[in-house]
Amino acid sequence: MTSGSYKIGIIGGAGWLGSAIAGSLIKAAVFDKSEIVISSRSPRAAFSEGIHHTADNGELTRIADVVILSVRPEDSHLVDVDLQGKLLISVVAGVSSELLSRRHRTQRVVRALPNAAAAVGLSYTPWFASSATSEEDRRLVETIFDACGTQDAMTREEDIDFLTGLTGTGPAYPALLALAMYKSARSHGLNEDVAVRAVNGMLVGAGGLLQENPVHPESTVRDFVDYKGVTAAGIEAMQRRGFIEAVDGGIKAALEKTHAISRSIGH
């Protein structure tokens, strides 16, 4: 599938998320390189041969039919562009659709939150569209984020803020689990290389199984606990030590940080 009639601009397109989105769109053949324009303060991204690159956000806005805003939240106020009603897709955490609409002079606003796995086409991306967006706008958003992995449209904007601290974290929480398992492996005498391969291999394998058979996590846990084997003993010990409560506390802390960011930038 190709876009056919759109030219897409990515403000911050040389950053890790902007470049991941652009790379996914090209790899999935959703957009041709000639249909993408990126702006950034950084040098031209390594992948961007054949892509129009500019340091001028105004130039990008004039060229593009659709603009993806991909900058750090604390830098978002520095992007002063008038979209004159064009579709804006923001992947900036904590910046409300109402504020984006005021800043960039468009009612057609989508807030989306891909994560780092967009770089390999495996991001989960929730998104929320303002009431002024059209069905065609929403179909385009689905197409863009299907290229990055999987996506869901949210009916409440506050769900985007919650998911910022859940799915928006990408590999960070699994990496924390891997680090805990790595430390346990090292404390029992495994050498570093073996310990790293063991925990990374376990997480990669689990992800592959879930991709092939995306069952409810409760079902997986119950199956292992009901088997009453080695894994059940490990799961039950972790639960007794407050594993689920610790994760819930972390996600709530991430949500509060999202709200703090929002307050600090004028939500």
Mind listing the domains of the chain with CATH numbers?
8-157 (3.40.50.720), 172-262 (1.10.3730.10)
Average pLDDT value over all residues in the chain: 93
pLDDT confidence bin for 50, thresholds 50/70/90: confident
How far apart CA 95 and CA 258 sit, in angstroms, is: 9
Q: Would you state the pLDDT for residue 4?
A: 55
How far apart CA 11 and CA 103 sit, in angstroms, is: 15
- Give residue for tokens 């863009």: 144
Q: What is the mean pLDDT of residues 76-98?
A: 96
| Neighbour tally for 202: CB within 10 Å | 14
Q: Shortest CA distance to 108 belongs to which of 162, 68, 51, 160?
A: 68
At 137-146, the pLDDT tens digits run 999 999 999 9
- The answer on pLDDT for 39 being more than 70 is yes
| Neighbour tally for 180: CB within 10 Å | 13
pLDDT confidence bin for 1, thresholds 50/70/90: very low
pLDDT confidence bin for 48, thresholds 50/70/90: low
CA-derived radius of gyration, the chain: 21
How far apart CA 267 and CA 255 sit, in angstroms, is: 15
pTM: 0.91
How far apart CA 81 and CA 39 sit, in angstroms, is: 12
- Which one-letter amino acid corresponds to residue 218? E
Q: Which ranges of the chain would DSSP assign to H, the alpha helix?
A: 16-27, 57-63, 97-104, 135-147, 158-164, 172-187, 192-212, 217-227, 230-240, 243-264
pLDDT confidence bin for 42, thresholds 50/70/90: confident
How far apart CA 178 and CA 182 sit, in angstroms, is: 6
| Neighbour tally for 71: CB within 10 Å | 22
Q: Would you state the pLDDT for residue 46?
A: 54
